[in-house]
Chain A
Amino acid sequence: MAETRIRVLVAKPGLDGHDRGAKVIARALRDAGMEVIYSGLHQTPEQIVETAIQEDVDVIGLSILSGAHLTIFPRVKQLLLENNADDIKLIGGGTMPDEDIQFLLEHKQADALFTPGTPSSSIIAWIRQNISASN
């Protein structure tokens, strides 16, 4: 019987165009056997959530290097709740000071955040441990 693959949306919200990390992670997840959709750049939170629901993903990964993370994560989380899609896990990475990371995690605005230098294997492991692939 075919194994259901974990589906991931890697997204670049806001105006930030730095996509090196997002693309490396997207490829690492694909090489690890996941189905990866890459949103491309300059996405609004609305576009990201719409794509996530349409593509029936298990997890959204946001890459933010513009300092706008305290605005964007809560907005995406809110849209997931409004659309009854908050079973989709929300993770991310980028340029985020520790205290902002703690804030977002404590207030459940993100499920996991990965800082610069994190090996892709850690992200893959987290996804495998925390997501049971949906049909």
Chain B
Amino acid sequence: MSSFAEWQERYKTQKERKGPFMTVSSMPIEPLYGPENCYRFDYERDLGNPGEYPFTRGIRTNMYRGRLWTMRQFAGFATAKESNERYKFLLSQGQTGLSVAFDMPTIMGYDSDHPRAFGEVGRVGVAIDSLQDMETLFADIPLDKVSTSMTTNAPAAILWSLYIAAAEKQGVPSYKLTGTIQNDILKEYIAQKSWIFPPEPSLRLITDIFAFAKDHVPKWNTISISGYHIREAGSTALQELAFTLADGFAYVEAGIKAGLAVDDFAPRLSFFFNSHMDFFEEIAKYRAARRIWARHMKEKYGAKKEESLLLRFHTQTAGCSLTAQQPENNIVRTAFEALAAVLGGTQSLHTNSMDEVLALPTEKAVQIALRTQQIIACESGVANTVDPLAGSYFVETLTQQMEDGAEEYFRKIEEHGGVLGAIAQNFFQQEIADAAYRYQKEIEMKERIVVGVNEYITDEELAIPLLKIDPRIEMEQVARVKKLRETRDNIRVRHTLDEVRRAAEGTDNLIPKIIEAVKAYATEGEIVAVLKEVFGEYREKAVF
């Protein structure tokens, strides 16, 4: 056998096909990783057994041998009635958890009849204005038997209160509820951009949620610290990893600053990552994430409970990797991305539908997406053993490179005054815009091939059916919320809103007051309007 240096010499004499050989994040990759050029990991220090510090190999001892990841498809459109039917369909097809997508007015804190909601009701998700809508959304779905994730950020306290109130109406007490609210405002300023209030009062709402959950909703994941949106906005894998974990540490610090003991809220922090097309880069990212989180939580924040050290995460396959051209190819992309997430040890997974570049998914398309997960679980064999890629020269090297790169970013973020300082200086936003621009240039110069877009192009007409949102549903929803305001006890509503205002102006936990308001059928928009008066509104200084 030749030495590595001799192999390299022989390699240089051979013809290489056209490069560049780089990851989706433009990171160059070596032709070979072997014992002489890999990262020399120490098993106990760097990997650990599954379920053991630093959890690189997985957060549980038995991982998928004990329980598969939750198959949790993000869904929601039109009004609560249509979305309720879609949830029932997905549950009947073998999905094991619910995930709610709200429309833009609900995301931004406007009722369906607000002037700014015009044309947007029910288009990107379900319209929820009040408890009445929440009850319809979960009609015949027992909330003590199913866990629900809700993608809501700025108004998360209100949507969570609506869920708790709807469950109470079903006879389910809050301590039995399981699920997640995304509730990650920092990444809104950075990437998803669905903010309402400025950072400080937003963090206050989040720490109020941490505190309330500890005593009243202990099985609930109070936050889903997200990299998905950062990646969708154009970041590299490393930026996604580093910025997400930096946000996570900022939330830990906020909780501690609010007077909470780290072990009282850290076990209920959860994460949400993207799964993009570069197979091994993504797997390395997830493994590095677990190791970094465990190390910092133990060594920097002094967490003592094992649950505080576990990075539990949901994954969604990359929307931004899908193409409008030849959309059936997206089924294949999603399958590879889902496989990477499973090999990376995700706890929960959403697979995109092939038509999502063009519209919300049809029933047929989302069924294929769900079957993709089921085929991985039942037919591919990858869930038979825990962390099968551990020890790979390539994967362990990439994992360590991810960790090293993230630590460097943490230093840069500190130099900018921490996450809030970095947001104010547009540090993250500029990094993301630069990465997005570089990616686009690579495609246009054919340094990066996207099948069907800049290579293997066909002239075919679009042949798949697309979901359409009937514009009449906006009119129906507007009528519904107007009628609600006429028929409810408006004196009680005014009183509860005053209580919300009083709590917002002071330091009392806002959640019990918001729950009282939603139970009185105050609308989301009305509660947000009160909070806006006290907290103000956020304004960005856009860079590109």
Which residues of chain A have a CB within 8 Å of any CB of chain B? 14-20, 22-24, 26-28, 38, 40-42, 44, 66-68, 70-72, 95, 97-98, 115-117, 119-121
Contacts and interface: CB of A to CB of B under 8 A. Distances in A.
B32 interface: no
A96 B89 CA distance: 27
Which one of A20, A23, A119 has the highest number of Cβ atoms from chain B below 10 Å of its Cβ?
Answer: A20
Given A28-B440, A68-B120, A23 B104 contact: no
Nearest to A65: B124
A86 to B, nearest CB: 21
B359 A95 contact: yes
A75 to B, nearest CB: 8
A98 B466 CA distance: 11
A115 B324 CA distance: 8
A19 B542 CA distance: 10
Contacts, number: 92
B233 interface: yes
B357 interface: yes
Contact of B542 (A16, A24, A38, A116): A38
A24 B232 CA distance: 13
B104 A15 contact: yes
B358 to A, nearest CB: 6
A98 B117 CA distance: 24
B192 interface: yes
B469 interface: yes
B324 A116 contact: yes
Contacts of B462: 98
Contact of A14 (B119, B233, B358): B119
A134 B540 CA distance: 31
Contacts of B320: 20
Contact of A95 (B232, B357, B440, B444): B357
Contacts of B325: 117
A116 B357 contact: yes
Nearest to B444: A119
Contacts of A14: 104, 116, 119-120
Contact of A116 (B120, B323, B433): B323
Given A19-B193, A20-B436, A44-B116, A27 B358 contact: no
A27 B359 contact: no
Highest count of chain B CB atoms <10 Å: which of A15, A97, A119 = A15
A23 B120 contact: no
Nearest to B195: A17
A17 B462 CA distance: 27
A44 B110 CA distance: 15
Contacts of A67: 120, 123-124, 359, 469
Contact of A20 (B124, B232, B358): B232
B225 interface: no
Contact of A26 (B104, B188, B544): B544
A41 B466 contact: no
A72 B119 contact: yes
B345 interface: no
A97 B468 CA distance: 10
A115 B327 CA distance: 14
Contact of A97 (B433, B437, B466): B466
B119 A70 contact: yes
Going nearest first, the 7 A-B pairs with the smallest beta carbon separation are A71-B119, A17-B193, A67-B123, A15-B104, A23-B544, A68-B119, A40-B542
A66 B124 contact: yes
A98 B544 CA distance: 29
* Most chain A C-beta atoms within 10 Å of own C-beta, residue among B118, B192, B466, B469: B118
B324 A24 contact: no
B383 interface: no
Given A27-B433, A66-B104, 14 more contacts: A14-B116, A15-B116, A15-B117, A16-B124, A19-B542, A20-B233, A24-B440, A41-B542, A44-B116, A66-B123, A67-B469, A72-B119, A97-B466, A117-B324
Contacts of A26: 544
Interface in B231-249: 232-234
B197 to A, nearest CB: 14
B218 interface: no
Nearest to A26: B544
Interface string B182-199: 000000100011100000
A17 B192 contact: yes
6 contacts: A14-B116, A17-B188, A20-B436, A27-B544, A68-B119, A71-B119
Contacts of A40: 540, 542
Contact of A71 (B110, B118, B233, B443): B118
Interface in B124-155: 124
